Amino acid sequence: MKQSYLELVRDIQDAIRVRAQEVPKFRDEGNGAIRILAYPCCPEADKWFGGLSTFGEKDDIVDYEHTFAITPGGSRVVTGEWDGVKQKVDCYAYSALKIAHCSLAQDLGYTAVSGLDLRTKYLTEDNGYGPHPGALCFEISKRVDESSDPEPFCGIYVCVSGADSRDDLKCAIAAVYVIVEFFDNEKLYQVKIPNYSAV
């Protein structure tokens, strides 16, 4: 891999922050969260992320996470009014719930986005799932050479939380071009983009 994983993280962060300036709530208040979570599917990807996982008889796979405020110097906590009551929402925490919902959609064979109807009433915040748009997962595969079949390399979740869920998703989608371009430059990699229009 020519570039470091942290360069990709920074590029995703930058693209989302630029897109967030199109959302009045983010532009005017500057609060909300970006969460980027990567998981390795092989030792090579794990080494690229930082080398904390163990592959072998008993795999011990690490998730690598980075979180940022939606704007430099902003808070990851937003204030709003729901049910007639002014409340605070920790978008750092809620972004994790959206990624959990996205991950479950992925595991169940749906496209890897949060906010889909997964046909069960128990997928709520109380049970650790944020069933609202704003998170998506890119599945990356790699070929050994030009003639070989692609093998799973890693997954990269991108989530935005803090505005209306549709605006969160709009900001998260800014990562598509960044991730595709990054891996296109590496030649043997392939990116599966989730169908974010499904929500």
Average pLDDT over residues 19-30: 97
Average pLDDT over residues 18-26: 97
- CB-CB contact of 87 with 96 (8 Å): no
Share of the chain above pLDDT 70, in %: 100
Question: Where residue 146 falls among pLDDT bands split at 50, 70, 90?
Answer: confident
Average pLDDT over residues 52-72: 96
The predicted structure's pLDDT at residue 186? 83
The predicted structure's pLDDT at residue 12? 98
The predicted structure's pLDDT at residue 185? 84
